[in-house]
Amino acid sequence: MKKVQLLLLIAVVGLVMVLSACGSNKETDISSPNEQVSVKIGVQHAVHPLVLAQKKGWIEEEFAKHNAKVEWVEIQGGPAQFEALLTNRLDLAITGNTGVITGQIADIPFKEIAIGSTGQKNVGILLPKGSAVKNVADLKGKKIAVAKATAAYDILFRLLDQAGLKGSDVQIIQLNADEAKAAFLGGSIDAWGIGEPYLSTAVVDDGAIVLADGATINYTSPAFQIARTKFTEEHPELVTAYLKVMENTIRWQNENLDEAVNVYAEGTKLNPDVVKSVIHNVSFANVPVSDAFVKAQGELSEFLFKEKAVDKTVDPSLVVNNTFIEQALKELDNK
């Protein structure tokens, strides 16, 4: 009998210990959401609604509702962004069309969470003021500055092909944007393949002529909102909150264009007329990544591989996650 009582006492003590442990774990689970989350957002001195939201403090305001704070990371686009994503130094950013292809090729764990712009006039081929070139076919034998593995490089070859020319029919000079600008203004090249804001700056400030752009061949050069994959899994509510701010910022910009232009001009030191041109050409957006954009990305991947700018092709659909932008737009529409 005493043995039974002893066993019963041990069982009761064990149960109490288990319940106490459960209670302790429960308290831990309740307290953990109260820990403030720090969100690292990539930003550049550029004409973009993200910069406007930063200046206005709108992202901090929205994230405070979720007990999160913002760490702004000033970082250039392309490889630097994806390296930061890989090393957990960046959670959210916006990047160009080619960047997402090369990032996927490098096996960086990221997701495309929305389209950030849908411009067709934001990338093109420029001619210096007074050029005798009248059409793309006239570029045969000419020196054209362009950076490899960029949207400008892609559109240049598409335009040449439409005009019945091949890459070997022109002299392609591999230069980055600042080098190309100096060569363009100095008269050592005949044409320049480039995107914004260099395109609008050259046209507005230097009298350059747009020979052809994406609208010429119905070519869109989008930007993408991207996020570190693990961040999207651990903090989906913050990804949605971020995209809600982006949508509200674009709506505000459309309704308060002059004020937005002044903010951008002050931050970038660009001529306000240049800023207006950039906004018009880029066509900022905040929409899901459609099948049409995925298809175009696939074609870009194939083109870059064909031109030996990258060492393999990818399936862009594998990095698309429209869950957050769809939720963000739904919440805003239901307000």
Please choose, from the candidates 162, 161, 185, the residue with its C-alpha nearest in 3D space to the C-alpha of residue 175.
185
Fold of 123-216: D-Maltodextrin-Binding Protein; domain 2 (3.40.190)
Q: pLDDT tens, 130-154?
A: 999 999 999 999 999 999 888 999 9
Whole-model pTM: value is 0.86
Give dist(CA 238, CA 37) in Å, integer. 10
At which residue do the structure tokens 């362009």 appear?
A: 146
The per-residue pLDDT for 191 is: 98
- Domain boundaries of the chain, sorted by first residue: 36-119+222-333, 123-216
User: Of 47, 28, 13, which Cα lies nearest the Cα of 261?
Assistant: 47
Shared fold status for 36-119+222-333 and 123-216: yes
Dihedral sign computed on CA atoms, order 205, 210, 216, 217: negative
**Interval 256-288: pLDDT, tens:** 999 999 999 999 999 999 999 999 999 999 999
At 13, the pLDDT band (50, 70, 90 cuts) reads very low
pLDDT at 37: 94
Query: Cα–Cα distance between 152 and 47 in angstroms, integer?
Result: 19
70-111: per-residue pLDDT in tens? 999 999 878 899 999 999 999 999 999 999 999 999 999 999
The CATH number fitting domain 36-119+222-333, selected from 3.90.660.10, 3.40.1280.10, 3.40.50.920, 3.40.190.10: 3.40.190.10
